[in-house]
């Protein structure tokens, strides 16, 4: 995300880490990436708040011990986003967005190669859940990992499942809304995060 300062000076905001608890709160009502400035002047800043009203349910099936495929994905209200995992022994797990993100982070940190891994965390990362999280977080490690993998259709059990997923992702993307927030850190040296200042919102 970009912070725009009067005078046509543009500064990039560093990626802001989102804790698990905070992520749950954000997914319940859309998400907001905060903008921060270290400047000490009192000029007006503006930044964009983006939210998605729809997320993804990902249906994942264990096809061989420790190996999984995505069998279906659908768009749902963001508060209902999750992954439903069916195992060979007959039991089913439901993974929240928070839990899914934790497994994805572990997958990325392990350095596992996409082409050599068909575990559950890879299904989350390279399927609709990872796509949704990458969009919500404005890029970062999840989006970078997906881009490096290239074509991710191989995580789906069939071409029909992949096609349905693409339709669901387009629907979720279509729920994106954005607004511009203007902030003037009056009489404060701490920028947007200061205790004083004005804030106005424009559509």
E strand or H helix that includes residue 135: helix 128-136
* Tens-place pLDDT, residues 104-127: 998 888 875 554 478 999 999 999
DSSP string across 19-66: -HHHHHHHHTS-----------S---EEEEEEEESEEEEEEEEEEETT
Q: Cα–Cα distance between 127 and 162 in angstroms, integer?
A: 9
The overall pTM is greater than 0.85? no
* The pLDDT of residue 44: 72
Report whether 89 contacts 139 (CB < 8 A). Answer: no
Judged against a pLDDT cut of 70, whether residue 152 lies above it is answered with yes
| DSSP states along 149-202 | H---GGGBSSHHHHHHHHHHHHHHHTTEEEEEEEEE-TT-SSGGGSSS-EEEEE
Between residues 54 and 19, the one the model is more confident about: 54
- Virtual torsion, Cα 192, 196, 178, 144, nearest 10 deg: 20
Better pLDDT: 179 or 111: 179
Helix (H, G, I), strand (E, B) or coil at 138: coil
**Residue 106 CB neighbours (<10 A):** 12
Residues 6+ apart with CB under 8 A from 92: 84, 85, 86
pLDDT top residue among 5 and 78: 78
- What is the residue extent of each domain of the chain? 2-51+177-202, 54-173
């Amino acid at each position: 995300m970009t912070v725009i300062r009067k005078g046509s000076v543009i500064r990039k905001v560093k990626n802001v880490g989102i804790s698990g608890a905070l992520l749950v709160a954000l997914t319940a009502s859309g998400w907001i990436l905060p903008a921060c400035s270290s400047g000490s002047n009192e000029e007006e800043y503006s930044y964009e708040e983006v939210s998605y009203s729809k997320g993804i349910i990902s249906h994942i099936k264990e096809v061989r011990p420790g190996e999984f495929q995505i069998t279906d994905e659908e768009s749902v209200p963001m508060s209902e986003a999750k992954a439903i995992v069916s195992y060979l022994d007959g039991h089913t797990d439901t993974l929240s967005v928070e839990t899914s993100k934790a497994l994805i982070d572990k997958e990325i940190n392990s350095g596992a190669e996409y082409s050599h891994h068909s575990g559950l965390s890879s299904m989350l990362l390279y399927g609709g859940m990872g796509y949704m999280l990458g969009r919500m977080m404005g890029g970062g490690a999840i989006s970078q990992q997906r881009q490096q993998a290239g074509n991710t259709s191989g995580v789906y059990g069939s071409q029909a499942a992949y096609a349905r997923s693409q339709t669901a992702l387009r629907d979720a993307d279509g729920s994106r809304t954005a607004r511009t927030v203007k902030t003037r850190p009056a009489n404060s040296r701490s920028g947007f995060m200061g205790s004083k200042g004005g804030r106005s919102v424009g559509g």
